[in-house]
Homo-oligomer: A and B are copies of this chain.
Amino acid sequence: MINIEHVTKKYGDFTAVNDLSLTVESSEFLVILGPSGCGKSTLLRLINKMIERNDGVITVNGENIDDLKGVQLRKTIGYVIQNIGLFPHMNVYKNIATVPRLLKWNEDTIAKRVSDMLALVGLEPTIYQVKTPAQLSGGEAQRIGVARAMASDPEILLMDEPFGAVDPINRLRLQKEFRKIQRKLKKTVVFVTHDTDEALLLADRICIMNKGEIVQVDTPENIVLHPKNDFVKDFFKEEGILTILSRKPAVDYAEPFELDENPLHQDATMRDVLLTMLTTGQERVSLINGSISWDALLQIAGSDVHDSE
């Protein structure tokens, strides 16, 4: 659990984070969204004591971070920095192995772990672990950064736009993978992104920031359907609704009306249903356990139910 109370951070005269209070529950996945320059990265760096606050109190798992050594604190927190910061003098293997080595894991375990992490971020271990950062493409480097932060399996993860340079296919896979891991291992994650889809897909709660302050903290549904003000509304540009649809498995809403067509696959979401309608031009889409009509879809979209996953 991370508790942030009335925290302020100034760079010279400029206030980057202003009297901000926020609580991240244990094993919660909190996404921070906000325009460029609103203080998201600054907030993350305040949590793991990379920079000093001007005011306020931060506790991590109940302990005031002022009472903890920065080094100790950061060892228990994984951190993906925004500009990746791979160590240029180490190859990919050594980059990922850094924290496990600090923690003096045995080398076999490390080798296994590096391999797993590379596989997780979708890079072939045998090819990539010997490359150096200069030999990586932008998206590859970013994924190595994520792998590195997760290598030691920290309880808390701070991630600063970790998938910004990754293509949609890999990104979706990563998001899903990552969400699954987080659920299973009950990690506490603070995740900065500017991708609203990503936020809606991953978040337990979303924290919308602007100009160093919090505008709204709430569940994805509430944020999309009950935006607190125009700023939030503009941020999602209505299309949040599509992502909300993509959090709803289609099978949960099937009507007992069988069609003579190929049904959508089992994992299809309500969003897939909508897209299928648009591409095929049909008003009703077949599912494995029935079908859904446009009218039903309209109703489901408008309803304010929580993620049933």
Contacts and interface: CB of A to CB of B under 8 A. Distances in A.
A164 B36 CA distance: 11
Residue from A11, A167, A172, A195 whose CB has the most chain B CB atoms within 10 Å: A167
Contact of A281 (B272, B280, B299): B299
Contact of A37 (B140, B194, B297): B140
B138 A167 contact: no
Most chain B CB inside 10 Å of its own CB: which residue of A140, A295, A302: A302
Contacts of A295: 283
Chain copies in the assembled complex: 2
B196 A36 contact: no
Contacts of A139: 35-37, 194
Contacts of A283: 294-295, 298
A236 B277 CA distance: 16
A119 interface: no
A36 B281 contact: no
Interface residues of A, number: 59
A253 interface: no
Interface of A: 11, 33-37, 40-41, 82-83, 135-140, 143, 160-161, 164-172, 194-196, 225, 234-235, 237-239, 241-242, 245, 271-272, 274-283, 294-295, 297-299, 301-302
The 4 closest A-B pairs by CB, nearest first: A36-B139, A167-B194, A281-B302, A238-B275
